[in-house]
Amino acid sequence: MIYKIVEISTVLDTSLTYVLVEFWLTLESIRKGDPPLLTNDFLMQLQATSTRIITNGDGWLKTVEGIFIDPNTLDPDGPQPEWELETVPRDVPAEIKGNIEDYEHRASTSQLTGNHTADASKPLYKEGQIVTQRVDTPLVKRDQSDPKDILAKTGVQDLIGAEIEVRLATL
């Protein structure tokens, strides 16, 4: 299955990332101008960085005193040392793609086709049968505010319009 990200933005007044994605069975379908087999919008709770305990090459944990401790020697029921932490960047494009590909696998398994966005006026099918959608869900309002610097992360904007193949399952 091939997918294209149509839009990446921020859900208005939140820190959620909105991603609109279209799916086709083949690259040929895209080239012929066929409509997407499936469309979905994602609300992703992404972080630009994360915090972790500093470790050495052996995986030992560093305390604030600068001592490295083998985690296997720690008593899980005993007091824990205070750990030295570091902030590290996250691979946001990989997380976006991972979320989409997890969904694609579930959608393929459920044989979803049609429109699976917050727009309940468009049909969604499961195993060829129409599925009632979230009628009361309003369309998501979005902008480019980027309060968590997700849209500005290297590689995120490059995902828009790219034809990405998923080798998990087919409809």
Q: What pLDDT is attached to residue 134?
A: 59
Q: What pLDDT is attached to residue 135?
A: 53
Kindly tell me if the per-residue pLDDT of 118 is higher than 90: no
Domain positions in the chain are 2-47+91-165, 50-87
8-47: pLDDT as tens digits? 999 988 889 999 999 999 999 999 999 999 999 999 999 9
133-142: pLDDT as tens digits? 655 555 678 8
Rounded to 5°, the CA angle 40-45-50 comes to: 140
Q: What pLDDT is attached to residue 138?
A: 57
130, amino acid identity: I
Kindly tell me if the per-residue pLDDT of 125 is higher than 90: no
Number of helical (H) and strand (E) elements in the chain, helices listed first? 2, 12
Spatial distance between the Cα atoms of 16 and 22, rounded to a whole number of angstroms: 20
